[in-house]
Amino acid sequence: MAQRKNTYRLSTAVVVTVLTEIILAALLAFGYFVLMQMIPGMKLDRPEMMAVFAAGPVVSLLFLLMFWWKKRALSKFSSPEMLKHLAPMLSTGKPVFKFVFFRLALFFLTIALVNPQIGSKMTEVKQEGIDLMIAIDVSNSMLSEDIKPNRLERARRGIAQLIDKLYGDRVGIIVFAGDAYVQLPITTDFSAARMFLNTITTDIVPVQGTSIGAAINRSMESFDFDNGAQKAIIVISDGEDHEAAALEAAKKAAEKGVVIHTIGMGTAQGGPIPIYNGRNQTGYKKDKEGRTVITRLDEKMLQDLATAGNGQFVRASTAQMGINVLLEEIDSMNKTEFGTVSYAEYEDRFQVFLIIALVLLLIEQLVSERRSKWREKFKLFES
C-alpha cells in the first residue's frame, strides 16, 4: 500500500505539471492567433524570442525527474510510516505549487522578452504598387514528394520568399482544392501574410479536388476594382484540374485587365501521394484496383492558363521556384499610388508582463516547502 501511495503522489505531480503546460500552450496560441488579430496595431518587437517558449516544457520535465528522484531517495531512506515520525513537517505538495508559480513566472518573462507593442500613433503612408492575389493549391496531390520536401511545403517557402521581396504592393492569399477560400484578405501587412502562410495545410479545405477556376473567381471577388491599381493573380498548383472552368475564368479575368501567372509544382514523372495518420505516414493513395496513384504535373494546362491570362508560366523545382521571373513581371507593371493608414509609433508593453513575472517569483519564494497545518486538509498532494 505504501508503494501505491507514493506512486499516486507522483502521478498527481505529473497531472498538475502537464495541465499547467496545456493551459500555457492554449494561452500562447490564443494570444498569438486571436489577440494579435483582434487588437489593432499590435505587433511583436522581437518575434525571434518566441523560440524561448520551447524551454518551458523542458523545465517542467526536469522538475518531474527531480521530483521522482526525491521520492525514490526518500522511499529508500525509510518507510512512509517511519518518515512521518522522522520528518513530520515534510511536504510533497508545496514543491509542486512552488514550481507552478515558477513556471508561470517563466512564461510571463518570455512574453516580456518578446515585447508586445501597441500602435499609438497612426499616419497615412503613400505607397506605389499593385494588388496581388496568391492562389495556392492545397489538394492532397500537393503532398507528393517529387519536389522536396513536398510540393506544398516548397510552395509555402517560395511564397515566403516572394513576400519578402515585395515592396509597396498589397497581397492576399487564396487556398483551394475542390473549392476556394480566402485565407488572407488583400493587405499591406506582410507579417500577417507570413503568419497565415504558416497555417496552410491540405486539411484547411474540406472538399478535395483541384478547382483552379474557383480560385481565380474568388481572387477576382477579393479585388477592389475602384482603386485603379493594376492587379495580378499567381496560381500555384500541380495543374491536375479536370474542370473546364479554369481557362474560361482566366479569359474573363484578362478582359478586366488582371494578369494571371502560374507556377507548376511537380515533375513530368510525378510521384505517389502519401497518406498520413497525424504525423505518421501510413502508406500511399491507391485507386480502386489497389494500384498506387501517381500524380504528375499538368504543365500544358498551366501554360494555357497563363497564356489566357496574359501572364507567365514557370516550373518549380526543388532548387528554385521561379520567383525572380515573376518578380520581374510584377515590377514591370504600372504602379499605382495609394494611401495606407498605418501605425508610425508603437508603445512597449513588456513592463506589464515583467511585473506579473516578478510578483509570481516573489510568491514562489514566500511559499515554504514545509508542511503547514491548513495544508493537512488537502491530502491529495501529501505523502
Q: Does 383 reside within a domain?
A: no
Is the pLDDT at 1 greater than 50? The verdict is: no
Domain count, the chain: 2
Query: 266: closest CA among 302, 306, 291, 237?
Result: 237
215 and 299 housed in the same domain:
yes
Contact 91, 374 (CB under 8 A): no
Quote the domain boundaries for residue 109. Answer: 2-115+349-377
Identify whether 149 is preceded by a cis peptide bond (ω within 30 of 0).
Answer: yes
Mean pLDDT, to the nearest integer, of 99-126? 85
Identify whether 249 is part of a domain.
yes
- Cα(275)–Cα(283) distance, integer angstroms: 5
**Could you tell me if 316 and 223 lie in one domain?**
yes
* pLDDT cut 70: percent of the chain above it: 83
Name which of 33-37, 79-83, 295-299 the model is least confident about: 79-83
pLDDT tens digit sequence for 224-240: 888 878 999 999 999 88
Give residue 253's pLDDT.
Answer: 95
Q: Which amino acid is at 224?
A: D
Pair (186, 245) in one structural domain:
yes
Q: In whole angstroms, what is the distance from residue 4 CA to residue 186 CA?
A: 60
Decide if 368 is inside a domain.
yes
Q: Which CATH number is 208's domain given?
A: 3.40.50.410
Report angle CA 57, 58, 64 to the nearest 5 degrees: 90
Answer whether residue 306 is part of any domain: yes
Task: Tell me whether residue 320 is in a domain.
Answer: yes
Q: For residue 89, give the C-alpha cell.
A: 513537517
Give pLDDT tens digits for 21-54.
Answer: 999 999 998 888 778 767 767 788 888 888 899 9
Instruction: Identify the pLDDT of residue 3.
Output: 43
**319 C-beta neighbours (distance < 10 Å), count:** 8
Q: How far apart are CA 170 and CA 229, in angstroms?
A: 10
Q: What is the pLDDT of residues 4-16, one digit of tens each?
A: 444 446 788 899 9
Q: What pLDDT is recorded for position 198?
A: 85
Provide the sign of the torsion angle of the four alpha carbons 164, 166, 170, 175, taken in this order.
negative
Do residues 154 and 261 share a domain? yes
Is the pLDDT assigned to residue 289 strictly greater than 50?
yes
Mean pLDDT of the chain: 84
224 lies in some domain: yes
Co-location of 193 and 265 in the same domain: yes
pLDDT tens digits, 199-216: 899 989 888 888 899 999
Q: Is residue 382 part of a domain?
A: no
Residue 247 has pLDDT above 60, yes or no: yes
Tally: H helices and E strands in the chain: 12, 13
Amino acid 72: pLDDT: 75
321 — pLDDT class (breaks 50, 70, 90) = confident
Q: Is 123 helix (H, G, I), strand (E, B) or coil?
A: strand
Contacts with 355 (C-beta within 8 Å, 6 or more apart), sequence order: none
Question: Whole-prediction pTM value?
Answer: 0.61
**Confidence bin at 83 (pLDDT 50/70/90):** low
* pLDDT surpasses 50 at 381: no
Q: Indicate if the alpha-carbon torsion angle 204, 205, 211, 216 is positive or negative.
A: negative
pLDDT at 382: 47
Q: Assess whether 131 and 93 both reside in one domain.
A: no
Q: Which of 15-29, 158-172, 262-276 has the lowest mean pLDDT?
A: 158-172
- As a whole number of angstroms, the distance between CA 216 and CA 221 comes to 9
Query: Do 81 and 130 fall within a single domain?
Result: no
pLDDT of residue 70: 77
Cell numbers for 34, please give them. 486571436
- Asked whether residue 101 falls in the same domain as residue 158, the answer is no
Q: Residue 316's closest CA among 150, 81, 130?
A: 150
Clarify whether residues 96 and 234 are in a common domain.
Answer: no
Helix axis angle, 350-366 to 94-114, nearest 10°? 160
Tell whether 51 is covered by a domain.
Answer: yes
Q: Are 302 and 237 in contact (CB under 8 A)?
A: yes
CA distance 11 to 17: 10
Kindly state whether residues 148 and 55 are assigned to the same domain: no
Across the range 258-266, mean pLDDT stands at 95
Q: Please spell the DSSP secondary structure of 320-373, one letter per residue.
A: ---HHHHHHHHHHSPPEEEEEEEEEEEEE-HHHHHHHHHHHHHHHHHS-SB--G
Residues 258 and 291 occupy one common structural domain: yes
pLDDT for residue 91 is more than 60: no
Specify whether 71 is located in the same domain as 139.
no
